[in-house]
């Protein structure tokens, strides 16, 4: 029986260090900088209408004239009361999903404070209360003359002398979308926090609020850039008092302040408005700027034309005036609105990160877009052409947003953004992890959403076709006691793992199936070849048995396994007599609550010759993050057990294969709390001394 101490979350038993002493384009096409609008996008009459409306907009608000035109769409015609939909973005809508899942006529689960309190994470970043979503602005860049790719030294291996991402005067800065007034979307401002290690954070005062006509309906996603003289600028999307999405400029009030507590908005805002052919609610989320070969700064902004997702390209010298390209960075038909577009280089040969301005023969470029229609983050590996500001995918069959395209994460993971961390020469990925419960439950507990553990991201140099992601090394600082396990798990077995409470864990594991077993399965004609048709989502979950799987861990399980979240591999035989591995997370039995979306997540994962099957799992109360094969395939899930909480949360290893015995070797660490603190000068001083 667990001790009374084990019934408490780990964070209640460990000492807080802060309070203790101790569009495919021809690469040879002529470069255009001041070009005509995209061909075929605008009828003459439509353009005149845009011009007329924009003149009215600027005249009404005494704004300065801009070079592009905008159509103002009245909110009076809206047929829904959703504030987010009126603004042109998506807010949480899980309430309808669970009601349509077969339980629509049932009363929602009666949450109590004890269960809801347990759901709050211990080492993931989240505000003290209320709603949060997209990460903002953690990616400043600066390029000096000797960093250009025409240097003889390989561009992708050079270190940058600048202070890095929003790693400023010794602090990592994190800005995020925040509603200070409620646990639902709305009243969006910029939250702000600082850290020395990306794990232990101190909340700071709100960085920017919606106090101007050009951001009256929200201070939305943006990105930062360090200029050549060391100054810092921030471009962000504002939703105007007419719900038009525009781009605005801000900068720190005092560059000598390491905490960057105060920001000033440019008096000439907005600096960019929706161009002709782009609807007023389809123009958002500017990227970090990168340097072109002719010394200009370049950004891209997500949008759509009809159902085609696009990424617009602009050049600038001073971030106040812009030249719009006629060509697009990229476009993919039938993918809908592209949000939170990200664009960055990755090395083909090294495992270090690259500054966004780096280009060269040993560099590939990633285009990532968050799909507003599906709420998935898709990316593709490809080639960027600086001469005309275009990019093409290496494999057009898995282009950005297509059904077969690659994703950062196959679970609950959206609106992600990377930054180049000059402090350690790495590229870091952040993401908004939304809730899977009902909005009513969020209101009751007083908060909604969090950020995933920051991940390093590099090109998989073994395959050359995909990225690999891994939790930042600093997360290891939270590891407490550990246990090593080595065991054979027979077909149909479920084995309890003796780790006491299992609410906050870091698990690293290797699995191996004997070669003779694999050869037997491949040579057995009675074993169905299912690899081509298999899908984690449609498989029926971890209870459906196959010859070689599923096998893995059940996390956040109660003693009787009435609640559990299996994270597992499934190995399937293909029609080509080769084996294919899948990595899945099954949340269908994660909770007795009925007002929760409980999908089965997953995808295939490349396993190269000679590799064992490996996984890492981070468990932190209501979030489970899984990484297969060194991070080739990742799955984040939100789970809300009602019984498997506090000391009743257990860990099991299982093998539900029919024919295979699995050898499992794994290590399990208990994890400490990150002790994220409210703002005070004392908290900042304490964190700065750690």
Active-site residues, by number, are 134
Residue 586 corresponds to which tokens in the numbers above?
């099954």
Secondary structure letter of residue 375 according to DSSP: T
- The rounded distance, in Å, linking the Cα atoms of 614 and 616 is 7
- The rounded distance, in Å, linking the Cα atoms of 168 and 177 is 20
Inter-residue contact 274 to 245 (CB < 8 Å): yes
- DSSP string of 537-550, one letter each residue: TTS--TTS-BTEEE
- The rounded distance, in Å, linking the Cα atoms of 594 and 599 is 13
Cβ neighbours, 10 Å, residue 38: 21
- The rounded distance, in Å, linking the Cα atoms of 432 and 138 is 14
Question: To which H or E segment does residue 119 belong?
Answer: helix 113-119
Q: Give CA angle at 425 (298, 134), nearest 5°.
A: 60
The pairing of strands 130-136 and 171-179 is antiparallel
Inter-residue contact 196 to 424 (CB < 8 Å): no
- The rounded distance, in Å, linking the Cα atoms of 363 and 312 is 22
- The rounded distance, in Å, linking the Cα atoms of 346 and 355 is 9
Per-residue 3-state assignment (H helix, E strand, C coil) for 383-428? EEECCCCEEEECCHHHCCCCCCCEECCCCCCEEEEEEEECCCCEEE
Centroid of chain to Cα 173: 17
- The rounded distance, in Å, linking the Cα atoms of 184 and 437 is 12
Residue 671 corresponds to which tokens in the numbers above?
């994890």
- The rounded distance, in Å, linking the Cα atoms of 249 and 242 is 19
Backbone φ and ψ of 122, nearest 5°: -105, -30
- The rounded distance, in Å, linking the Cα atoms of 80 and 330 is 32
Question: To which H or E segment does residue 114 belong?
Answer: helix 113-119
- The rounded distance, in Å, linking the Cα atoms of 651 and 666 is 12
Q: Under DSSP, is residue 634 helix (H, G, I), strand (E, B) or coil?
A: strand
Please name which of 466, 276, 233, 273 lies closest in space to residue 368, comparing C-alpha atoms: 466
- The rounded distance, in Å, linking the Cα atoms of 627 and 631 is 5
Please name which of 628, 574, 639 lies closest in space to residue 600, comparing C-alpha atoms: 639
Where do the DSSP E strands lie in 181-321? 189-195, 201-208, 219-226, 232-239, 245-252, 263-265, 290-291, 297-305, 308-316
Quote the radius of gyration of the chain (alpha carbons, Å): 25
Question: To which H or E segment does residue 175 belong?
Answer: strand 171-179
b/e sequence 232-249, b meaning 16+ C-beta within 10 Å: bbbbbbbbbbbbbbbbbb
Q: List residues bridging with 328 in a β-sheet.
A: none
Backbone φ and ψ of 129, nearest 5°: -165, 170
- The rounded distance, in Å, linking the Cα atoms of 119 and 448 is 11
């Amino acid at each position: 029986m667990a001790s009374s101490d084990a019934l408490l979350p780990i964070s209640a038993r460990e000492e807080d260090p802060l309070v203790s002493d101790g569009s495919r384009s021809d690469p040879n096409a002529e470069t255009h900088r001041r070009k005509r609008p995209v061909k075929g996008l605008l009828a003459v009459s439509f353009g005149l209408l845009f011009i007329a409306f924009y003149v009215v907009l600027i005249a009404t608000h005494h704004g300065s004239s801009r070079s592009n035109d905008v159509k103002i769409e009245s909110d009076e015609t809206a047929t829904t009361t959703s504030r987010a939909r009126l603004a042109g973005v998506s807010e949480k809508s899980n309430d309808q999903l669970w009601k349509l899942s077969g339980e629509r006529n049932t009363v929602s689960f009666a949450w109590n404070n004890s269960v809801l309190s347990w759901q709050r994470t211990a080492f993931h970043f989240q505000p003290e209360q209320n709603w949060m979503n997209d990460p903002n602005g953690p990616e400043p860049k600066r390029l000096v003359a000797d960093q250009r790719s025409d240097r003889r030294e390989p561009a992708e291996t050079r270190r940058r002398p600048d202070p890095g991402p929003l790693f400023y005067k010794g602090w990592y800065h994190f800005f995020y979308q925040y509603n200070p007034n409620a646990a639902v979307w709305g009243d969006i401002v910029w939250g702000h926090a600082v850290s020395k290690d990306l794990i232990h954070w101190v909340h700071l005062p709100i960085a920017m609020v919606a106090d101007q006509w050009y951001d009256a309906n929200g201070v939305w996603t943006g990105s930062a850039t360090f200029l050549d003289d060391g100054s810092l600028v921030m471009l962000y999307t504002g939703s105007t008092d007419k719900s038009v999405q525009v781009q605005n400029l801000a900068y720190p009030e005092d560059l000598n302040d390491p905490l960057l507590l105060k920001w000033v908005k440019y008096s000439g805002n907005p600096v960019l408005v929706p161009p002709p052919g782009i609807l007023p609610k389809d123009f958002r989320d500017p990227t970090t700027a990168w340097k072109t070969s002719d010394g200009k700064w370049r950004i891209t902004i997500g949008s759509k034309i009809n159902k085609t997702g696009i990424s617009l390209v602009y050049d600038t010298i001073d971030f106040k005036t812009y030249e719009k390209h006629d060509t697009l960075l990229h476009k993919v038909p039938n993918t809908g609105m592209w949000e939170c577009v990200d664009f960055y280089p990755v090395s083909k040969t090294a495992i270090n990160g690259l500054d966004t301005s780096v280009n060269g023969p040993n560099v590939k470029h990633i285009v990532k877009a968050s799909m507003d229609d599906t709420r998935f983050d898709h990316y593709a590996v490809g080639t960027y052409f600086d001469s005309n500001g275009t990019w093409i995918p290496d494999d057009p069959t898995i282009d950005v947003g297509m059904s077969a395209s690659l994703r950062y994460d196959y679970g609950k993971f959206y609106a992600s953004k990377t930054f180049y961390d000059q402090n350690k020469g790495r590229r870091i990925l952040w993401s908004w992890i939304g809730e899977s419960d009902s909005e009513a439950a969020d209101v009751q507990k007083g908060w909604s959403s969090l950020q995933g553990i920051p991940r390093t991201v590099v090109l998989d140099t073994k395959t050359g076709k995909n990225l690999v992601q891994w939790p930042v090394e600093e997360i290891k600082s939270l590891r407490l006691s550990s246990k090593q396990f080595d065991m054979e798990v027979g077909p149909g077995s479920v084995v309890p793992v003796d780790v006491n409470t299992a609410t906050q864990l870091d698990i690293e594991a290797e699995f191996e199936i004997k070669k003779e077993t694999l050869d037997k399965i491949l040579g057995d004609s009675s074993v169905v070849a299912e690899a081509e048709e298999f899908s984690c989502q449609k498989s029926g979950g971890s209870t459906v048995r196959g010859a070689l799987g599923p096998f893995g861990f059940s996390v956040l399980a109660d003693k009787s396994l009435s609640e559990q979240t299996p994270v597992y591999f499934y190995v399937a035989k293909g029609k080509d007599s080769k084996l294919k591995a899948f990595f899945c997370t099954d949340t269908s039995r994660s909770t007795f609550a009925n007002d929760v979306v409980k999908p089965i997540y997953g995808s295939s994962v490349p396993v190269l010759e000679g590799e064992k099957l490996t996984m890492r799992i981070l468990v932190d109360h209501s979030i489970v993050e899984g990484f297969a094969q060194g991070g080739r395939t990742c799955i984040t899930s939100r789970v809300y057990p009602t019984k498997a909480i506090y000391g009743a949360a257990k860990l099991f290893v299982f093998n539900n294969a029919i024919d295979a015995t699995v050898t499992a070797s794994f290590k399990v660490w208990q994890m400490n709390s990150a002790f994220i603190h409210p703002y005070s000068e004392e908290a900042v001083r304490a964190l700065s001394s750690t």
